[in-house]
A and B are shown apart, each in its own frame.
Chain A
Amino acid sequence: MKPSPFEYHRASSIEDAIAALARHGEGALLLAGGQSLIPMMNLGLATPDLLVDVGNLSDLRYVRVQDGSLRIGAIATHSAIMGAGPSALACPMLIVAYQSVAHHTIRNRGTLGGNICHADPASEMPLVLMLLDASMVIRGARGERVVTADNFFIDAFETQVGPAEMLTEIRIPAQAAGEGYAFEEMSQRKGDFAVVSAGCRLSMREGRMTNVRFGLTGAGDRKRRMSVVEARLEGAVPDDRVLTDAAELAVVNADPSDDIHADVAYKLDLVRALSRRVLTSAVQMAAK
């Protein structure tokens, strides 16, 4: 299964990459790790005329803490991020969620930047970044802008990054001390795309949940974060009834579709079970 022909340009800098995209117009795509794009090309599902290879822009490979947030260069690979000391210190939820992302060999080449720009609805990281209140730095011909994760992801395979723009950095505020967080998914085999995944983070203050973030993938086309569930949990005591009700609220607000992997009834069952689990785990962790 071979890809269709394309022209290739190896970018020497971010500016060069953006200029190449602008010059070519429609049909040009950025190539970073290629772990999402190349399989689509081999399967004939993507047929760009021009690939602008930004994989060698080593300046964009950093993972560091700056001004209280984790700064990740757009070309940093998943493996590099998972293995970087700053990641574990500042945003341990990332590391936990990464256990569910693909396989070691894919993570060696795939970049977080590329993954979120691809924005596959079954992908875990977009959800995690929304729950972590991340923001993305996008550069174009007219300069830079910063977009919050909630706004960055528009729809399946669609983000705020325009045709002649490039994501350059992901910024994630360091998680607060004492936070509880959890991420769980159900997939056919470990490493596959999730059928349903659930994530949660929260803090406890005087026995009540606060700063709750909660969301799902695989639960429908609507946005991944469930503010309705977050609102129900905010300020509440995390007893059994509250958590159960929250899981039911997630089910009510979920709108999954049938597909070859699972039908709606099973997916809603997963929503209920996984929501309950991540809520319980996050609460238990925060209570320690």
Chain B
Amino acid sequence: MTTQRVELTINGATYSGQVEPRMLLSDFIRQVARLTGTHVGCEHGVCGVCTVQIDGMTARSCLTFAIQAEGHDIRTVEALGKQGALHPIQQAFWEKHGLQCGYCTPGMLMRAEEFLASNPNPGREDIIEAISGNLCRCTGYQTIVDAIEHAATLLKSQKAGRKMNDRATRIPVSRQREKPGQKTKWIGTDMKRVEDPRLLAGQGRYADDVSLPGMLHAATLSSPHAHARIISIDASAARALPGVVAVMTGEGVARSTGPLPCFSNPPVEQRCVAIDRVRHVGEPVAIIAADSRYIAEDAARLIEVEYEPLPPMNDPRKAMHVTGEGVLHPARGDTNVAIHRKFSFGNVAGDFARAKRVVKRSLRWSRSGAQPLETCGAVSEHDSATGKFTIHVNSSMYNYVGWLLAVTLGVPAHKLNIVPTIAGGSFGSKLFLHKVPVISAVLARETGRPVKYIEDRADNILACDHHGSDRFYDCELALDHDDMMISMRCKVIDDYGAYFQFGIGHHGNALSQITGPYQIGSVEADITAVMTNKCQQGAYRGFGSEVSNYVMERMVDAACAEFDLDPVEFRRRNFIKPEQFPYFIPTGNLYDSGDYPAVLERALQMLDYDGWRKKQEQARKEGRYIGIGLATCQERSVFSATEFWMLNHEAGFALTSSPEGVKVKIDPTGNAVITLQAPFWGNSPETMATMLLAEHLTMDPANISVTYADTDSGIAGTGPGGSRFTVMVAGAIVSASQVIRKKLFLLAAHLLDADPSDLELFDGKIRVKGRQGVQKSIADLAMMAHFFRLSFPETPEFDTGLDASCTYDHPLTTDAIGGPQGSGHLLSHHGPHVSHAGRGS
């Protein structure tokens, strides 16, 4: 390994390192210059996340060797501006919400700067063309285009010498047309995001930005086969490579580490490194810890594995009938069917018997993957003296089920501390990471040093454990004499991939809104979950319900097409009517409210639906076809735990809690620190928390900080997903605010010699109603609360401190129909399990 001294000029400063010629400029910038604002997304020039400027022109730093850049001027996002002194382009992105997770943002800013320098008056189309080489997975691009348009204006006025007021807390005029029921000062305003200044400056701390002394870097050797037995592994050459510290195979890992967490019952065993069989291309076969990722990958290439290929299963419709060599998990039974279950609600047979017309369709929903620009990653440490692990990881749900990783690692739950890093997008794929943190933790324990494992793009695409739904449907929809839909039944074959971490939870989710917005009285779903040689399904966007929405709407359109019914009228007729709420659908799930006809009407108006139908008619005469699509769907949000098991009579763990928690502390100066129990995914949790607390305690958002608890200090928190976080954390913040308000009122009442009921909170002060000047500021009260116990009565409600720790549960959760409530099932992946050969559970 020949290295040489490479000296680069970055942002006007000189950085030098002793590096190999193959070191990519992106890695030099991040690791040698330690400027981590430039991110890595794909390492083959597709995503643009690594964009920097070389001699004033944008370049992909992953497609440049550091050594090529000697003698040139490199500019990164760190040169643009910092919090409190943002560049107008960063300011524009902040004002127009041109970022969510922040991972693509530095690359966008670099390109925007280059573009605006030569195009000071761009049109929207020019901007769209200009950023076409930079991907974003969160925003949908429109706000980025808005931001660059706005930046052009700011740059021009900057040149004209007008002063820009960019105080972090300036609130623009609200664009709301309808005011909420009560007057609010902060809630509902177009507040600039609290998260943005550091993200815009490239100072967000993502998993790959964590750097610990003595840290090693991990890579995996992954299977080139879809399905094969592992006959032998020879890692001797890999171990002998200079810079390699450890190489572990599945057998070695299994001596100290158990299967990964799995929520299906009975579980399907998955290991972080395959032991005797590989079940999809990309599955890890060995893991390596080395001085650099480059060397770890070199070592992987030196490992010799002897495989005996087995028949690959790639079509679930065939795989479900296979026995013998093509079965992925023979210990579980001689079949690739993981579960076969028929769910039937209402009188399906009777309804089909009396139907006037039945329409049938076969429908296909193909698998997808989230592809966040930031892959999954973890940095782990193991303290051999205490036996405790610390894992920095970009996962969610760590304060909910994170402790399950301790079980896998073979230690008690309190010997694992999980520290969240912000995530560059997730879309479900970082919901509950197990393989990535376990790989890094296992290597940390083995080597006695911190180990970083960041998936590269190939690892993430092939082996992220979170592919989306992949289904074949055969459906029938029954209509009665009044063109009302009365029943639907579907046969579904679901291609779950090689493992089964969530069981058929995706179908539980779908079933919770299976009949969509319609008054369908009975429904049946015959579900077969099949194991195949692909990455397993996990959490992706709608978590299975987007598929049932698609199916429902396709069937509605099929009925209209076949029976010559108008798609708008048909939907209107079949909607649940406003006066029918609250409404129970056949499965027992409850819809609390809705006005579907009004929503449909609004959508039709916004599109000018009638106008387009006329254009369509005209175009047909000219031989041109215009397609007009309509879909009216339920999008249930703020999921509760029962959704995943309420329809499964043999649920592994019938939990009923899925709370969100928050801690709020008022410090002696009267400022607040909010501690969240769940991570940032691009979803603005800090802004929401700040806005909510500012409103409830009449505080200035500038006096509020937000931070994230690790699991050692954390309280219960389920985390983002299913559009739930803002709603749930709002509940927890309201609870916490109430606790703090109560204490403030008690203290103030004593100091002002008044009754708490005579007090009000206004503009950061507690005052006696109607009496001018008789008040105490929150800051004064906080100082007293922290330091002056003896100024107050002896009773415990006056004890020192001013903080609250609260969790918020759903106020209403539908329970299972005759489910196993309180049946005391063991958590599925712990107990011993008898394999049920050939039986669908």
Contacts and interface: CB of A to CB of B under 8 A. Distances in A.
24 contacts: A1-B43, A3-B24, A4-B22, A4-B301, A5-B22, A5-B298, A31-B65, A34-B63, A34-B64, A34-B68, A35-B60, A38-B64, A38-B65, A41-B22, A42-B24, A42-B43, A43-B458, A53-B68, A56-B71, A102-B133, A105-B134, A109-B60, A109-B64, A191-B133
B293 A105 contact: no
Nearest to A10: B67
A42 B44 contact: yes
A110 to B, nearest CB: 9
B1 A5 contact: yes
B21 A51 contact: yes
A6 B22 contact: yes
B58 interface: yes
Given A53-B68, A105-B59, A3 B133 contact: no
B130 interface: yes
B700 to A, nearest CB: 41
Interface in B54-98: 54, 57-60, 62-65, 67-68, 71
Contacts of A73: none
Nearest to A110: B63
B68 A104 contact: no
B695 interface: no
Interface of A: 1-8, 10, 31, 34-35, 38-39, 41-43, 51, 53, 55-56, 79, 102-106, 108-109, 189-191
Contacts of B132: 103, 189-191
Contacts of A79: 57
Contacts of B24: 2-3, 42
Nearest to B301: A4
* Secondary structure call for the B interface: mixed
A2 B63 contact: no
Contacts of B115: 104
B298 A38 contact: no
Given A2-B24, A5-B22, A38-B45, A109 B298 contact: no
B457 interface: yes
B467 interface: no
A30 B59 CA distance: 19
Given A4-B22, A7-B2, A106-B133, A42 B59 contact: no
Contacts of B51: 105
B67 A1 contact: no
Nearest to B110: A105
A243 to B, nearest CB: 20
Contacts of B1: 5
Given A4-B298, A103-B132, A43 B44 contact: yes
A257 B735 CA distance: 64
B58 A108 contact: yes
A6 B48 contact: no
B471 interface: no
Contacts of B7: none
A118 B274 CA distance: 39
Contacts of B457: 1
A43 to B, nearest CB: 6
Contact of A39 (B20, B63, B130): B63
**What 4 A-B pairs come out closest when comparing CB atoms?**
A103-B133, A8-B21, A39-B44, A105-B58
A1 B293 CA distance: 9
B111 interface: yes
Contacts of A42: 24, 43-44, 62-63
Nearest to A102: B133
Contacts of B68: 31, 34, 53, 55
A109 B54 CA distance: 9
Contacts of B58: 104-105, 108
B570 interface: no
A181 B449 CA distance: 63
B494 interface: no
